[in-house]
Amino acid sequence: MTESNGGVAMVTGAGGGIGGAVAAALARQGWVVAAVDSAADRLTELTEKLAADGLTVAGYRADVAVSAEVDRAVARIEDELGPVGLLVNAAGVLRLGAATELSDEDWRAVLSVNLDGVFHCSRAVAARMRRHGRGAIVTVASNAARVPRTRMAAYGAAKAAAVSYTKTLGLELAGHGIRCNVVSPGSTDTDMLRQLCAGEDGRRAAIEGSPETYKVGIPLRRIAEPADIADAVLFLASDRARHVTMQDLCVDGGAALGA
């Protein structure tokens, strides 16, 4: 098996818009997908839908913020499906609030999933990948890690830290044949975006930008589909990217102006 046509892929946040799109895209490419999410109902919906399409996917309920749950899930995945050759860290949560007014609870909630979750999953999987001398890890971050956004201090900080962690991980694991990269989406048509931009007016504002909050619009004049992010993940997971590691691929239609 090669990274381009199969193996076992673990996708966290698989019940979400981007995670679900990544899981489906990998399954269509021949991967055996271990879909991980904290919400059992979303996992069931995803696995039943993909199974109905004839794709191979198995659901594993785990909260990535809890290291013991991650360790148990990874052990089960490897026992039941085989060695994990690809990890996609796509789990994420958003809590909005001014930087000086965020509660301890909101700050901790965002970092526990968006940063601690990346650490817990990457640590558990990488320890096993080292024994096989191959593998790939892709962390889904955000262009908010590159450009400050009002009311997104916790989210941007967590994603920036996750980017740095993933690149350092890539440096440390390169000698073991393991590549670690990042995909940083901008505005993408998911439930998270709908939390930020409700209705057509909200979508139009995301494209046009907001001078009063110093937010640039989207030069390509469209909001991404989850499949756009999944395509970037697929590339970084494939043998076509066999000489690519420690990179951050921004998929935001130019909203970060190349930052």
DSSP calls for 30-45:
TEEEEEEES-HHHHHH
Whether the CB-CB separation of 181 and 236 falls below 8 Å is answered with yes
Q: Measured between alpha carbons, how far is residue 102 from residues 165, 170, 241 in Å?
A: 24, 32, 39
Which of 60, 155, 165, 214 is flagged as catalytic? Answer: 155
Interior angle at CA 140, CA 163 and CA 146, nearest 5: 45
Q: How far apart are CA 97 and CA 95, in angstroms?
A: 7
Instruction: Please indicate whether residue 165 is annotated as part of the active site.
Output: no
Interior angle at CA 199, CA 194 and CA 201, nearest 5: 120
Strands across the sheet with 178-185, in order? Answer: 57-61, 31-37, 7-12, 84-89, 135-140, 178-185, 248-251
- Residue 250's Cβ-side half-sphere holds a number of Cα atoms within 13 Å equal to 17
Q: Which are the catalytic amino acids?
A: 155
